[in-house]
Structure 1
Amino acid sequence: MLTLILMALVAAVVTFGFSFIIRRLSHKYRLYPKIRERDVHTKPTPRLGGIAMFLGVVAAFFVASQLPFFEIVFANPGPTFAILGAAFLIVIVGVADDIWDLDWTIKLAAQLLVAGLVAWQGVQILSLPIGGLTVGSPAMSFILTILTIVLVMNAVNFIDGLDGLVAGVALISNGVFLIYSYLLARETSPSNYFNLASLIAAIIVGACAGFLPFNWHRARLFMGDAGSMLIGLLMATGAIAVTGQIDPATLSRSELLPAFLPIILPFAILLLPLADFTLAVLRRLRAGKSPFTADRQHLHHRLLDMGHSHLQAVLILYSWTGVVSVGFLLFFILKPYGIAVIFLVVGTILCTFLTLAPLTRRQRREHRVQETPGDDVFAEFDPLDAASNTFTDDIPLPSEKDIP
C-alpha cells in the first residue's frame, strides 16, 4: 500500500507544479473562453487544468514502470500503453473543445475511438457476477467495454459544473476504490498485491489531490473537458480491470455479495455522475433535444436553485459520494452486513436532510416577497446565499498587471 501511496504522491506533485505553470501561461496569453450562460462562475478562468493532470498521470505511470513492485503490471505493456495513448488523445480533444467548443458529435466520435483503443488492447469486461456467467463472446465483451467507457466519460463530464466538484468526487470515490481493489487483490492474488486497477486508482487520487488546490472555490483553474474526460476514462478502465480479478463461478452462495461487488462498487462510486447523466439524457430527449445539448438543470445547478451556496452544494455532493462509496465498501470488509446497512441508512437520511434543509429558508424568503412586493430587491437578497456565486454579470478581462 505504501508503494501505491507513493504513486499517488508523484501524480499529486507533478499535477500541482504543472497546474501552477499552466495557470500563469493561460493568463499571460489569455487562453480562457468567455463565460457561458450556464456557467456559475463570473470571472474568466483558464480551463486547461486537464493538461496538468495528464502530465501527472504520465509521470506516475513512468515511475511505477521503474519499480519492481509493479513488474506484473508492465509485464504485458500493451494495456498500459493503450490507456496512456487513449488518455493523450482524449486530452487533445478536450483541450480543443475547451478552446473552440467542438460539436458534440466530434467529441462522441473521439470517445468511441479511445474506448475502442483500450478495449482492443485487452482492457475489457471479462466477467459479470450474475449467476457465475462470463461475457458471452469476445465481440460482446469488446462492445460492452466501449459503451461502458463512453458512458463513464460522459457521466463524469456532465457533473463538472462547480468548483472542485469533479476533483473532489473522484478523489473520494477512487480513494475508496483503491482500498477495495487492494483488498480484493490480497484475496485473489496473495503473492502479488499490485495490479492495474489499484495503480490507476492511486494515480487518479494523486492527480485530483494535486489539482484541487487550484480548483477549490473560488477556482483559479478549471480542469475543462480534457480533465473530466481523462478522469472518466481512467475510472472506467480501473473498474473494468477489476472484473478480471475474480471468478464468480468459484464462489459459494455465502459469498454472493462479494461476487457482485466488482460490478456494484464501481457503479456505486459513480452513482452521482451516472444519476446526473441519466436524468440529463431523459430530460433532453423528452424536450426533443440532443442528449448532449448543454443546459443549466444538472443536479449541482438544482442545489444552487434550492438555496444552497456554491460551497454547500459541493460538500453535499461530496457527502452523497462518500456515504454510497464507503457504505458498499463496508459490505466487502465487514461481516455480518448489518453495520454496512446501518451506515447506508443513517448516511442517506443525513444527506437527505442536508440536501433539503434550505427549502424552508427559501420558502420563507418567497413568502416575504409575496407579502411585500414593493421591497422585492431587498426581500430576495439573503446574505447566506452571497457565496453562491450565481450572478451572471460579466467581469472585465484582467490585464497582465492584475495577474499575480
Structure 2
Amino acid sequence: MRVYLLVMALAAVITYLLIPAVRTVARRTNALTPLRDRDVHTVPTPRLGGIAMFLGFAGALLIASRTSFLGDVFAISNQAWGILGAAGFIVVLGMADDIWDLDWMTKFVGQVLAAGILVWQGVQLVTLPVFGLTIISSTMSLLLTIFVVLVAINAVNFVDGLDGLAGGMVAIGGSAFFVYSYLLTRSTEPTDYSDLATMVMAALVGSCLGFLPHNFSPASIFMGDSGAMFLGLTVSAAAIVVTGSMDPGTAIEGLSTLTLPAYLPILLPVAVMIVPLIDLGFAVVRRVGAGKSPFTADGGHLHHRLLALGHSRRRAVAVMYLWTALFAFGTVGFAFLEVELMVPLLAVVVVIALVATLLPRIVGRRRHAR
C-alpha cells in the first residue's frame, strides 16, 4: 500500500507544481475558455490543465517502473506502456482542441485512435465475469473495448462544467476503484500485491488531487478537453484491465458471500462513472430529440439543473460529489461488507443526499409558507 500511496503523492505533487507553467502556456497560446451563455465563469479562463495532469500521471508511472515492487507490472506486458501512450495521444488531441477548437468528427476519430492504441497494446475486453462469458471474436472484443472507452471519455467531458467538478468526481470514484482493486489483488494474489489497475488508479487520483487546488471555485485554470478526455480514457483503461483479465469462475476470498461479487468488476466502473453516464445519457436523448447532434453543447446538464434549483456553484459541486461517493463506495461496500450492514447505511446516505439535493427548494417552500 505504501508504494501505491507514494505513486499517488508523486502524481499530485508533480501536477500541482506544473500548473503555473501550463497556465502561462495557455495564455500565450490563447487557450482560454470564452464566455458563453451556458457557462458559469465570468472571465476568460486558461485551460490545458490536462497537460499538467498527464505529466504528473506519467511522471509517477515512470518512477514506479523503476521500483522493485511495480517494475514487473511494466515488464510482464505492454499494457502499462499502452495506457501511457494512449493517454499521451488523447492529451495531445485535447490540447489541439483547447487551442484551435476542433470539430466533433476530428475529435471522435482521435478518440477511436486512442482506444485503438489500448487494444493494440493488449488493453481490451476478452472476458466478462458474468456467467463465464468469453468474447470469442476479436472483432467483437475490439468494438466493445472502443465503445467502452468512447463512452467514458465523453461522459467525463460532458460533466466538466463547474469548477472542481470533473476532477473531484473522478478523484472520489477513482479512490473507490483504487480501494476495490487493491483489496481484490490482495485476495487473489496473496504473495504479490503489485497490480496494473491499482497503480493506474493511484496515479490518476493523485493527478486529480494535484489539480483540484487550482481548479476549485474560483478556478485559475480549467482542465479543458485535454484533461477531461485523459480522465475518461484512463478510468476506462483501468476498468478494462480489471474486468477483462478476471477469471469469471474464480472465488474471491474476502468478498461478501451474500452478494454477487462476480458482477463487481462490471458494476464498479459503472458505479464510479454513474453520474457522468446519467448526464451523458440525458444529454444525448435531449439533443437528438431536439433534432440536434448529440455533440452539440447546451445548458441542460445535471450541474445546470442544480444551479437552477438554487444551489450555489460550490454547493452544486458538493452535491454531485456526494452522489458519486454514494454510488462508488456503496458498490465497493457491497463487495466486502455484509448486506445487513450496507442496506441501512446506504439508506441513510441516500436520504442525506436527497435532502442535500433538494435543500434550496425545501427552504424556499418554508419561506413561502411563512
- TM-score, normalised by the number of residues in structure 1: 0.87
The answer to whether residue 280 in structure 2 is matched with residue 277 in structure 1 is yes
Count of residues paired in the alignment: 367
Matches within 5 A, 1:2-401: 2-27=2-27, 30-251=30-251, 254=257, 257-334=260-337, 336-362=338-364
The one-letter code of the counterpart of 1:178 is F
- Residue 328 of structure 1 and its aligned partner are, at CA, apart by 0.9
C-alpha distance in structure 1 between counterparts of 2:188 and 2:245, whole Å: 7
Q: Is the 2:35–2:43 contact (alpha carbons within 8 Å) kept by the matching residues of 1?
A: yes
Deviation at 1:239, TM superposition (A): 0.7
Give how far 1:139 is off: 2.1
Q: Structure 2 counterpart of 1:286, which letter?
A: G
Q: Deviations over 1:177-216 (max 9, x none)?
A: 1110011011112221111100110001110000000000
1:327 and 1:341 in contact (8 A); partners too: no
The Cα offsets for residues 250-299 of structure 1, whole Å up to 9 and x where unpaired, read as 44995761111011111101111111001101111111111111000000
State how far apart, in whole Å, the 2-side matches of 1:365 and 1:36 are.
33
Structure 1 vs Structure 2 CA RMSD? 2.0
Give the conservation status (yes or no) of the 8 Å contact 2:128–2:244. Answer: no
SS at 2:70's partner residue? helix
Provide the C-alpha distance between the structure 2 equivalents of 1:3 and 1:245, rounded to a whole number of angstroms.
23
* C-alpha distance in structure 1 between counterparts of 2:164 and 2:276, whole Å: 14
Separation in 1 of the partners of 2:36 and 2:367? 28
Whether the aligned pair in 1 keeps the contact of 2:126 and 2:245 (CA below 8 Å) is no
Q: In structure 2, do the counterparts of structure 1 residues 36 and 127 end up closer, same or farther at CA, with 3 Å as the change threshold? A: same
- Change in Cα spacing, 1:162 to 1:366, as seen in structure 2 (3 Å) is farther
Q: Closer, same or farther in 2 for the Cα pair 1:327/1:256, shift >3 Å?
A: closer
Deviations 1:137-166 (A, max 9, x none): 222112111100010000011000000001
Contact 2:54–2:88 (Cα < 8 Å) also in 1: yes
User: Counterpart amino acid of 1:8?
Assistant: M
For 1:231 and 1:11, the matched residues in 2 are separated by: 14
Q: Aligned letter for 1:231?
A: L
**CA–CA separation in structure 1 for the residues paired with 2:270 and 2:157:** 16
Identity %: 47
SS at match of 1:60: helix
The 1:366/1:144 distance shift into structure 2, 3 A limit, reads: farther
For residues 61 and 87 of structure 2, what CA distance do their matches in structure 1 show? Answer: 12
Per the alignment, do residues 363 and 256 of structure 1 end up closer, same or farther by CA in structure 2, a change over 3 Å counting? Answer: closer
Classify 1:366/1:305 alpha carbon distance in 2 versus 1 (closer, same or farther; 3 Å).
farther
Structure 1 pair 30–116 and aligned structure 2 pair: CA distance change class (3 A): closer
Residue deviations 1:210-256, cap 9 Å, x none?
00000001100100010010000100000111014431224499576
8 A contact 1:327–1:343 mirrored in 2: no
Aligned mates of 2:168, 2:148 — CA distance in 1: 22
Change (3 A) 1:46 1:366: farther
Which deviates more, 123-132 or 225-234? 123-132
**Gap change, CA 1:126 and 1:255, over 3 Å in 2:** farther
Determine if contact 1:120/1:142 at 8 Å carries over to the other structure.
no
TM-aligned CA deviation for residue 72 of structure 1:
2.5
Q: Secondary structure at the match of 2:235?
A: helix
What residue is the counterpart of 1:395 in the other structure? none
What displacement does 1:34 show? 2.1
Mapped to 2, the partners of 1:366 and 1:27 lie a distance apart of 47
Segments of 5+ residues of structure 1 without an aligned counterpart are 369-404
